Amino acid sequence: MAEILRVIATFVEKGLVYVSKKPVFWSSGAQTALAEAEVEYQERDDQAVFVKFPIATGQLAGKASIAIWTTTPWTLPANLVIAVDAKEIYVVQEFRREGVSEVLVLADKLVDAFSLATGFQPTGEPMQTFPGTKLEGFGAQHPLLPRTSMILTAEFVTMDTGTGAVHVAPGHGEDDYALGSKNGFPIFSPVDDHGRYTEEVGIPELVGKYVFDANRDIVRMLRDREVLLGEQNFHHSYPYCWRSKTPIIFRAVDQFFIRIDDLRAAALDAITKVDWIPLWGENRIAGTVESRPDWVISRQRSWGVPLPVFYSGSGEPILNANWIRRLADLVAVRGSNVWFELSDSELARELGLPPGTTKGSDTIDVWIDSGVSHRAVCARRPELHDPAEMYLEATDQHRGWFQSSLMTSVALNNRAPYKTCVTHGFVVDLDGKKISKSSTYDKPVEASHFVSKHGADLVRLWASSINYTDDVPFSEEMFTRLGDTYRRMRNTLRILHGNLFDLLVSDVADVGSRSTTAATTLIDRWIVDRLDGVIGECRAAYESFEFHKVYHTINQFCAVDLSSLYIDITKDRMYCDAPNSPRRRATQLAMHRIYDALCRLLAPVLAFTSEEAWRYLGGNASVHLQLFPEVRASQRDTYVNTAVDRLLKLRAVIGQALEKARQQKLIGNSLEARVILRCERKLIDGISRDELEEFFIVGELVLEEANEPSAVVERTSFAKCARCWRHRETVGKSRTHPDLCDRCEDVVQARLSST
């Protein structure tokens, strides 16, 4: 908190802080000024009224009334001005309704709409027409109070609704305030903290009344005084206090501000030097910065950092950087309650202020608290630094924390507090509705509900699976699909690990950084190359924070390359070869490498499961202490890729023939098949028949030359090996083991002689 005060001291020193009566978003429910971010919009119905102000001075005095329209009748007692457009054409026109005649001034373009809304019909031609500028400076009699309001021209007048003559109460609106203060009108706002009229309102029966309740009294008074031209129900979107859910009012009070105009250009410049993810974030925040008004930093609340404003004996507010720094030193030791615990005189004595100095009672907008964390936290904690590499929040923070932090950082350092700014969408249900704990949303939204049901790793897997730059869909049903993916990844890890049980650490160490051994077959070279591809893609995805690419890459690798192909194809050699057969060991080494790499690559996503799997590799250190695997080969192995791509196409051709043979009950499984494969010889050049039989998982392969690949399946005449279940030519040839193929006989023989 002390640091927050020191930042305010710097702002004061730079002349950025000022005090002014100004209309602010005011919550009458919470009795405080609100930041823009604390305002939400709701649909509501209000009574809109057409009211006449008899023209009292100038050329039309006593001859006509100017007609205004407003949706906030309660602000009429604070009316001081009527605004018209300088260039638009206005008419002086007689209207009649049920025998009543009125001569009114209003915009030509809105005569028809006015007639339709009020029932007043124009009679005859306009008596006069002129541009609005001619009305400037005329006085008009206030309909409720003994004073005149002045007609002025203004740019905010539109010809969309109303009469083209706009009711202006400088104490109750942004545009109103600007026009009023420019022309020297008081910022009149006769409403108290609770949204009730004060005595200043000048109408005794309204004093103490809540303004939204007073609307109907005002309409009645207007009707009694015969100045009400018409009324209509008006449905519109109106700002509400996000906490108390009460409609907000614009109300002028003494507030402390940060002058944004002094920071705007530098902030816009700083924005261009940040990497925005996604890119449109840049336009979004630039738009907010361009349009944001001065920053109201005072809050009439207790729970916050005290706003370090002092008052002189005569009640003048004092902003003094040195005093604020002395206060900061005191707060650093005793906490900010000291501001509330000490009396005015005790605090003045403690800080060495002139006797008679008193303290204010406001607190600082919380958006300052978090908005200066780059200074209070990043710049001050030894393990961090400012600017940070990254801020990462939901998209609503373009107008919230990203912006508040940017403004304070520009004021302090003339640069943004972040190098990269990432936003993610809101979590929405399948109907696109934002899930939230504050609305009437009736499904579970607490993270703990899903963690205790599915585990944190599934919630993490969900977070990784979506492209977070859009809104993030979420539903209970999504966990079913995620569960399938999770089980696939877990089972892949489990099968790989199951095949490593007799691999010695020394075998792994021997092979070192080489990715292949002499016995490495095509399929091993291929999977190791695929792994290199996966490592490269995942590293790149992590570097660009695109976690969904990691999810899809690993999911695909597990489902297709590993489960459907590699693990399936190498099953025979893994289960049936001699334990230390070179090609089995070569495959084990590849599997070890894959298992190791998957644990590391999955660690940021499946933080728990990767750790669990990692422990089965036997090390003590956590997977989270490791580095990602590196891509080993400097280039992809184009030979194996082309070769395996060709084999996969042939495998598809064979697969169809096998399926047909199975349907015809010609064979039970593919190991019983004798496949005559016809294709161009060059497609399988340099690959042994043994390897091809393994790759296609068939009993017997016969190769014939042909231009177009095709396959014919017959039942093999070879006998089935009792051990590996493959149908091999060598089964039956041995005297000692007539039920085995030659490979299996060797294995069994070796076992017998070793025991």
- Among residue numbers 479 through 538, which ones bind another protein (CB under 8 A)? 486-487, 490-491, 493-495, 497-499, 501-502
- Among residue numbers 19 through 38, which ones bind another protein (CB under 8 A)? 30, 32, 38
Residue 544: HSE in the Cβ half-sphere, 13 Å Cα cutoff = 13
Largest CA distance in the chain: 131
Q: Which one of 93-101, 129-137, 264-272, 441-449 is the stretch in contact with another protein (CB under 8 A)?
A: 441-449
By the 8 A CB rule, do 434 and 427 touch? yes
Residue window 540-579: x/- pattern of binding to another protein, with contact defined by CB under 8 A? --xx-x-x--------------------------xxxx-x
Residue 322, Ramachandran bin (φ over 0: left; ψ between -120 and 50: alpha; else beta) = alpha
Return the residue of 691, 739, 742, 746 that touches another protein, per CB under 8 A.
Answer: 739
Return the residue of 160, 261, 446, 477 that touches another protein, per CB under 8 A.
Answer: 446
The residue (of 6 and 651) whose beta carbon lies closer to another protein is 6
By the 8 A CB rule, do 121 and 95 touch? yes
What is the smallest separation between the CB atom of 270 and another protein, expressed in angstroms? Answer: 16
- What token pair was written down for 668? 């039970």
Site residue total, another protein (CB under 8 A): 124
Phi, then psi, of 702 in degrees rounded to 5:
-120, 130
- Among residue numbers 293 through 332, which ones bind another protein (CB under 8 A)? 299, 301-305, 331-332
DSSP string, 518-567: TT--HHHHHHHHHHHHHHHHHHHHHHTT-HHHHHHHHHHIIIIIIIIIIH
By the 8 A CB rule, do 368 and 4 touch? yes
H or E stretch including 296?
strand 295-296
What is the smallest separation between the CB atom of 188 and another protein, expressed in angstroms? Answer: 27
The residue (of 43 and 389) whose beta carbon lies closer to another protein is 389
Neighbours of 522 (CB within 10 A): 19
Fill in the amino acid letter for 373: S
Fill in the amino acid letter for 168: V
Residue 83: HSE in the Cβ half-sphere, 13 Å Cα cutoff = 22
- Among residue numbers 240 through 269, which ones bind another protein (CB under 8 A)? 243-244
- What token pair was written down for 382? 């030894």
Phi, then psi, of 341 in degrees rounded to 5:
-75, -40
Return the residue of 437, 665, 682, 735 that touches another protein, per CB under 8 A.
Answer: 437
What is the smallest separation between the CB atom of 276 and another protein, expressed in angstroms? Answer: 16
Return the residue of 216, 349, 385, 689 that touches another protein, per CB under 8 A.
Answer: 385
Q: How far apart are the first and last CA of the chain?
A: 77
CA torsion sign, 390 to 392 to 398 to 402?
negative
Residue window 395-434: x/- pattern of binding to another protein, with contact defined by CB under 8 A? --x---x---------------xx---x-x-xx-------
- Among residue numbers 719 through 738, which ones bind another protein (CB under 8 A)? 722-723
- 381 near another protein (CB under 8 A): yes
Q: Which one of 129-137, 193-201, 349-357, 386-394 is the stretch in contact with another protein (CB under 8 A)?
A: 386-394
The residue (of 262 and 611) whose beta carbon lies closer to another protein is 611
275-277 and 418-424 beta bridge pairing: parallel
The residue (of 44 and 380) whose beta carbon lies closer to another protein is 380
- 445 near another protein (CB under 8 A): yes
- Among residue numbers 598 through 657, which ones bind another protein (CB under 8 A)? 600, 603-605, 607-609, 611-613, 616, 622, 624-628
